[in-house]
Structure 1
Amino acid sequence: MPAIAVILAIGMAATAAAQMGPRSRAHTTLQSDGTPDRLPATSQAPGTQSVTATVEGDQRIIIASGMPGHAVGRFPNSGNPHSIRVQNYRITLDATPQKAGRTTPARGYPFGIALNGVVFDPGAAEWYQGRPGPWQYEPLSGAVPLGLDANNAHVQPSGAYHYHGLPEGLMAQLGVSRDTHSPLIGWAADGFPIYALYGHLDGADPASPIIEHSSGYRLKQGRREPVEARGRFADAPTPGGYYDGTFVADYTYVEGQGTLDECNGTFTVTPDHPEGTYAYFLTRDWPVIPRCFAGTPSESFSAMRPARAGGRVDGNRDGNRPARPGGPRDGDRFGRPPQRF
């Protein structure tokens, strides 16, 4: 198994397990069809959308209420028992990010934040037989009922609404179209920009055709085999069945098979960066939201790791807390119209 896949599968599981404790649900599903049930987005979030962002020196400071500003599904629901609540996000990102020379797995905390102040959080604290380790369920596989809505989002116990896949409502609001380069969708935890689906065929040429970017991850072939695991995860059971995308470990990165690198990124010119920048792209194919960083993720995102509080897992690493330092209380500084970052 390639090193990046081992790191993703074990690293993400280790952090989530250390934070969540023993309350994970014990699933035994082996196969899925890749089409999770999604609730219609016909409700409004109960709080006011507010996003402010300033660049101070080499830092981008984002304060957000976590309210999406687009229609959402009904929460609580049968797959997710939590209600949406206003958050107190205060996030500090590198405004002049650089690639680190090595990749860093998204170890159990959000990948980034969207323009509307909702976090991208692709992983799920759901494992085969409830045993944290390499065999972590993929939230978008449909194997575990998570109560996702039409925006591929649901809610943590903290009340944080968050995206597990393509943010359909936000993309519609921003006018994402296959005819033009994607508008800016948000910022990753390492400070690089996030776009959705569409970019230039030649990243160095702004006149080159617009394409839909594709991931280089592919399903492994044949029956599932044990994944190397160490320490407390060494005895995690290996599910039977065939690689079909039910588990994160069903995928492996194949160099040159897509238009993006193992972190779903590439160097490219964009409308916001005509001089060129490394940028991440959300894709239709797995991983949809990237699962690793090319740069160094901000500690303000690591502060959003899952809490130790008890309660049912119900759907992901539920329990993430908004970053606290300097963050306003509910309602304070919220209520102004959202701003583009």
Structure 2
Amino acid sequence: MKTLGTTLALTLLTAGAVQAHVTITVDGDQRCITSDGVPDHDTGPWRAGATVQEQEHSFCMDATPELTETITRRVRISGITLTGIPLRPGTAEYFDPSTERGYSRDPSSGWNVEGVGGLIMDAQNAHVDGDGMYHYHGIPSAVTGELDGTLFGYAADGFEIHYVGDQAQSSWQLKSGARASGPGGAHDGTYVQDYEFVAGSGTLDECNGAMIDGQYVYFATDTYPFFPRCFKGTVSNDFIGGRPPPPAG
């Protein structure tokens, strides 16, 4: 793996320095982030009738995470930003030529629609689900542009998520050539299966993480997978649920 040419300032912003409707507390070995899920930036538009609804988010994770011997892939939400907005890069949609819009929640095709590039997002690479829960699928420039340092949020296993722009490079790459099945056409990033992990092609591992100054951290990147989609620590139950994301390779 290549070496990141940066030294991270691992500094936690206080809740008061983030947003009034976000609370970040540490009690013993648990860090908890609560929020109403409403961002302090413009949102939408998406489909007709889709609007941001206030939530009662409460996500607790390990405040002193440690690496484990296993990798966890089944998560509902990858992490949460310091501003209290969930990170949910994956989708439950699959290529389905029998539907008018070309996809559905029937996974039989095996081609999972990627959020960024496959579904309608706003200018912050986000949208709302059926309950009006606003969540990011990709990098929100309105958030990363206001960071005091590089700390962006926390992953489902408690490890920090940092954003350092092009100083951290994903090792997931678009496959070459055309798709041999399913939707056909070139591997253009519309589907998760358009990507493959190529060890050493970037600075980050399979889970979009790296060891920095003796500490393991994840990175939010401008390219796929955008946020960690697998986890090397113990994932909190607050983030687990839903259909497990399919492999991209």
Shorter-chain TM-score tier: 0.7 to 0.9
Amino acid in the other structure paired with 1:72: D
**Which of residues 115, 125, 140 in structure 2 aligns to 1:167?**
140
Work out whether residues 67 and 116 of structure 1, in 8 Å CA contact, stay in contact via their aligned partners in 2: no
| Corresponding position of 1:139 | 115
Deviation at 1:221, TM superposition (A): 2.1
| Corresponding position of 1:215 | 170
| Corresponding position of 1:65 | 36
**Is 1:100 equivalent to 2:68 in the alignment?**
yes
| Corresponding position of 1:278 | 216
Amino acid in the other structure paired with 1:132: P
Deviation at 1:102, TM superposition (A): 2.4
Task: Classify 1:244/1:219 alpha carbon distance in 2 versus 1 (closer, same or farther; 3 Å).
Answer: same
| Corresponding position of 1:126 | 93
Aligned-residue sequence identity (percent) comes to: 41
TM-score by length of 1: 0.59
| Corresponding position of 2:239 | 301
Residue-pair matches, total: 216
Deviation at 1:108, TM superposition (A): 5.0
Q: Distance in 2 between matches of 1:246 and 1:156?
A: 19
Q: Distance in 2 between matches of 1:243 and 1:80?
A: 30
**Is 1:55 equivalent to 2:26 in the alignment?**
yes
Q: Distance in 1 between matches of 2:144 and 2:68?
A: 29
Deviation at 1:166, TM superposition (A): 0.3
**Which of residues 200, 206, 224 in structure 2 aligns to 1:262?**
206
Deviation at 1:223, TM superposition (A): 2.6
Work out whether residues 154 and 160 of structure 2, in 8 Å CA contact, stay in contact via their aligned partners in 1: yes
TM-score by length of 2: 0.80
1:76-122 per-residue CA deviation (whole Å, 9 max, x = no partner) reads: x3x363221111111111011111222211x3511000001000110
Q: Structure 2, unaligned stretches of length 5 or more?
A: 1-18, 97-103, 244-249
Q: Distance in 2 between matches of 1:287 and 1:167?
A: 14
Q: Distance in 1 between matches of 2:81 and 2:227?
A: 12
| Corresponding position of 1:242 | 186
Task: Classify 1:80/1:123 alpha carbon distance in 2 versus 1 (closer, same or farther; 3 Å).
Answer: farther
Q: Distance in 2 between matches of 1:172 and 1:299?
A: 30
Q: Which structure: larger Rg?
A: 1
CA RMSD of aligned residues (A): 2.0
Runs of 4+ in 1 over 6 A off after TM superposition: none
Amino acid in the other structure paired with 2:136: Y
Q: Structure 1, unaligned stretches of length 5 or more?
A: 1-47, 176-181, 199-210, 227-237, 270-275, 307-341
Work out whether residues 150 and 164 of structure 2, in 8 Å CA contact, stay in contact via their aligned partners in 1: no
| Corresponding position of 2:196 | 252
